[in-house]
Structure formats: structure tokens, C-alpha cells
Amino acid sequence: MTGIHLDDSVMTTRLDAVVNWARKNSLWPLPFGTACCAIEFMSMMASRYDFSRFGAEALRFSPRQSDMLLVLGTITNKQAPILRQVYSQMAEPKWVLAVGVCASSGGMYRTYSTLQGIDRVVPVDVYVPGCPPRPESMIYGAMKLQEKITQETLKGRREHIERFYASMARQEALQEARGLSNHQVVREMVLAAGENGDQRIW
């Protein structure tokens, strides 16, 4: 009588591993393009570089339908609250790529009007260096993000979410108490964080 070999038909794994596998291969990008890096991004999405290979060709210009925010260009202090709002409207889980030196650190714009790195206002998962980064660099950044997603745990992600939304609650409370605009509150929070040496408001 032939024996039953469970090895042939049963596969065991962890929930985190299956969920992360699905997540990393179905990223939906939201381009937040403000300057020249966005042009390079267009090239990455076109046929020569074929970003579709990564299952990430479905561009969505609504934060509610995307999970990979690509910040492509210089972000001014006035744009910081808008970036925070866009990020907060994206469905969880979500990830952020700072593309180019402007988004990563303010780049050569060491001025009062430029945000010195988007990680001051939103969590960044991968920084892509360059001015502008070539499409290959952006693809490499996306592959690094995929590696990172593979190693995530559901518990770790929950802590990540809670930290950001606690900062949004602080922002709203400050705005209500002081009667300031969104932009003024975020600017104050960024300046206060700089004085504390932390630099990040979330």
C-alpha cells in the first residue's frame, strides 16, 4: 500500500512571512513630485527600466489607494504639513522612499525655507542618494524596501503607526490651543525638535 507523504502537499510558514511576501510584491506607488527628481521617476516608470517587474506599476494619485510614497524633489517648510497630511491619509501599511538629496536632507538648499530632510515630518524607510538619482538607483532603493518589508513584524509595524499618529494628535492639540495654521504649527514643532537635538517631530 502506498504511504501518504505529507511533505508533498503541506507547507508550513509564519503569518508574518506570508503577509510580507504579498506586501512586498504588490506595492502601489504615490509620486509626490516637486522638482527635477520627478522627471527621473517618469523614466523609471517607462518601458526601458520597466518597474512593472516588481509588481509596482499601478501608480495611484490618491493617498487612499497607495502604500509606497515616493518623495521626489525639494520640500519647502510650507509643503511639510501637506506631506504629513498626504502620508496620514495613506492606508496602512505604508512605506516612504526619500528620493534624491533634496528630499533626504534638503540637499544644496541649506536655506530657511527648505525642509532639511523629510524624515523630520514623516517616517522614511529608504533614502536614495543622488542629484538626481538615476532610475537604476531608484529601483535599487525599491529593492531595499522590499528587503526591509520581508523582515518586518506585525508588532513592529503597529509601534511605528502609533508613534506617527501620536505626533498628529500633538499637532492637532497645539493647533486648537494656539489658533495657528497647520503650517505654523508644523514649523514650530520642527524648530522645537531641532532645539531638543531630536530633529524629528514624530
Residues that bind ligand SF4 (CB under 6 A): 35-37, 73-74, 100-102, 107, 131-132
C-beta neighbour count of 193 within 10 angstroms: 17
Asked whether the beta carbons of 97 and 85 are under 8 A apart, the reply is no
CA-to-CA separations, 88 to 110, 136, 162, in angstroms, rounded: 27, 29, 12
Give the annotated binding-site residues: 36-37, 102, 131
Q: Based on CB atoms, which residue is closest to ligand SF4, 36 or 168?
A: 36
Q: Based on CB atoms, which residue is closest to ligand SF4, 129 or 156?
A: 129
Shortest distance, CB of residue 65 to ligand SF4, whole angstroms?
Answer: 25
Q: Based on CB atoms, which residue is closest to ligand SF4, 81 or 100?
A: 100
Contacts of 15 (CB under 8 A, 6+ apart): 154
Shortest distance, CB of residue 78 to ligand SF4, whole angstroms?
Answer: 16
Shortest distance, CB of residue 193 to ligand SF4, whole angstroms?
Answer: 23
Shortest distance, CB of residue 49 to ligand SF4, whole angstroms?
Answer: 17
Give the annotated binding-site residues for [4Fe-4S] cluster: 36-37, 102, 131
State the Cα–Cα distance between residues 80 and 199, nearest whole angstrom: 14
Q: Based on CB atoms, which residue is closest to ligand SF4, 105 or 171?
A: 105
Classified as helix, coil or strand, 5 is coil
Shortest distance, CB of residue 100 to ligand SF4, whole angstroms?
Answer: 3
Q: Say which DSSP state 7 is in.
A: G
Q: Sheet containing 126-128: which strands, arranged edge to edge?
A: 29-33, 68-72, 95-99, 126-128
Q: Based on CB atoms, which residue is closest to ligand SF4, 71 or 189?
A: 71
Residue with cell 538615476: 134
CA-to-CA separations, 84 to 80, 97, 143, 148, in angstroms, rounded: 6, 14, 24, 22
